[in-house]
């Protein structure tokens, strides 16, 4: 089996927790422990880098503290395992959106990983959208997953909650930008349609808008909860987080503005660092990271779940050799 990239003592807890999860996928017994991580970190020799910015003193040397490296690597691993426990809770705990059981100081993979949206997101974040089998567009598949997560978050799905896949390339919706926007506005009952007098509308793909979700009232009048979403699967997601501007999109491309400004939603398959969370929310709006998406896709449609399972099984076999 291919070796996972060695974790470093200077990696953030989120990255180290990812390593624990991936290690369990590869392990013969399908578990991964705090001790596994501690030992690997010690072997990398990166614990010393934790002190690179600290002043040396006579009383702070390895001669006085021979077990300091062991203590520091243990502390780093414990922080990573705290992140694992937080993921378990963030995925709903016993609702089992999290595909691992958390036992003391180790995690163990549950059965049927191909049925886990969380694992699809984990592997997508680690190996990229092109890691899967031919014929499955992982970026478009991720957008479909995100639509389902947003619809779930917006409320009970049978009470007027709808979603629309606007991101290019479009397969289930009209291919041309103007046609897709016209259909979307008609289904929302707001915005009227596309302003064709805008420059280069024929060259426009999606104007950074990947999906839209809304919740109707029975009266079908204007003024409802609407979300404009953007999805990012690559490591450059930080560069994209503020690209979508719902108000500007409506003013530029719709014949009539929406009665209530849409909320901005940003979707990533990653687990965003706690230290960066507030910054991400301020720039991106409502953030759906890996755990939030997994929690809100427990009732995802069977076709999308099947395609995610195919992609996951392929990456497990061909990339991780698991």
pTM of the model: 0.91
Measured in whole angstroms, the distance separating CA 273 from the mean position of its chain's CA atoms is 12
User: What is the side-by-side strand order in the sheet with 211-215?
Assistant: 161-165, 211-215, 225-231, 263-267, 286-288
What is the pLDDT at residue 3? 62
Question: What distance in Å separates the CA atoms of residue 189 and residue 47, rounded to the nearest whole number?
Answer: 58
What is the pLDDT at residue 206? 93
CB within 8 Å of 231: residues ≥ 6 apart: 139, 142, 143, 146, 167, 210, 211, 266, 267, 268
What is the pLDDT at residue 175? 93
Query: CB neighbours (10 Å) of residue 142?
Result: 25
Span between the terminal Cα atoms of the chain, in Å = 7
What is the pLDDT at residue 159? 79
Q: What is the mean pLDDT of each run of 10 residues along the chain (322 residues)?
A: 78 96 94 94 82 48 55 91 96 89 93 91 96 94 96 84 93 92 96 86 88 94 96 94 95 94 97 95 97 94 95 94 80
């Amino acid at each position: 089996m291919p070796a996972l990239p060695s974790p470093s003592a200077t990696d953030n807890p989120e990255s180290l927790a990812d390593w624990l999860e991936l290690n369990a996928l590869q392990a013969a017994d399908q578990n991964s422990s705090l001790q596994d991580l501690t030992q690997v970190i010690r072997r990398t020799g990166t614990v010393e880098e934790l002190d690179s910015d600290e002043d040396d003193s006579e009383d702070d040397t390895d001669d006085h503290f021979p077990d300091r490296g062991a203590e520091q690597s243990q502390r780093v691993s414990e922080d990573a395992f705290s992140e694992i426990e937080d993921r378990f809770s963030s995925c709903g705990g016993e609702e089992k959106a999290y595909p691992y059981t958390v036992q003391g100081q180790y995690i163990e993979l549950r059965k049927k990983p191909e049925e886990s949206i969380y694992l699809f997101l984990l592997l997508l974040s680690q190996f990229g959208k092109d890691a899967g089998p031919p014929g499955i567009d992982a970026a478009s598949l991720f957008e479909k997953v995100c639509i389902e997560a947003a619809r779930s978050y917006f409320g009970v799905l049978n009470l007027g909650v709808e979603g629309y896949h606007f991101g290019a390339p479009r397969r289930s919706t009209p291919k041309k930008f103007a046609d897709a926007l016209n259909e979307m506005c008609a289904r929302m009952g707001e915005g009227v349609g596309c302003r064709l007098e805008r420059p280069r509308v024929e060259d426009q793909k999606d104007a950074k808008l990947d999906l839209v979700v809304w919740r109707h009232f029975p009266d079908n009048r204007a003024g409802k909860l609407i979300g404009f979403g953007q999805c990012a699967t690559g490591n450059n997601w930080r560069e994209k987080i503020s690209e979508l501007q719902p108000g500007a999109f409506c003013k530029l491309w719709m014949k009539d503005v929406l009665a209530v400004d849409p909320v901005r939603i940003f979707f990533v398959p990653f687990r965003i660092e706690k230290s960066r969370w507030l910054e991400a929310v301020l720039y991106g709006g409502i953030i759906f990271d890996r755990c939030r998406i997994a929690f809100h896709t427990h009732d995802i449609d069977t076709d999308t779940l099947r395609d995610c399972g195919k992609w996951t099984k392929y990456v497990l076999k061909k990339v991780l050799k698991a």
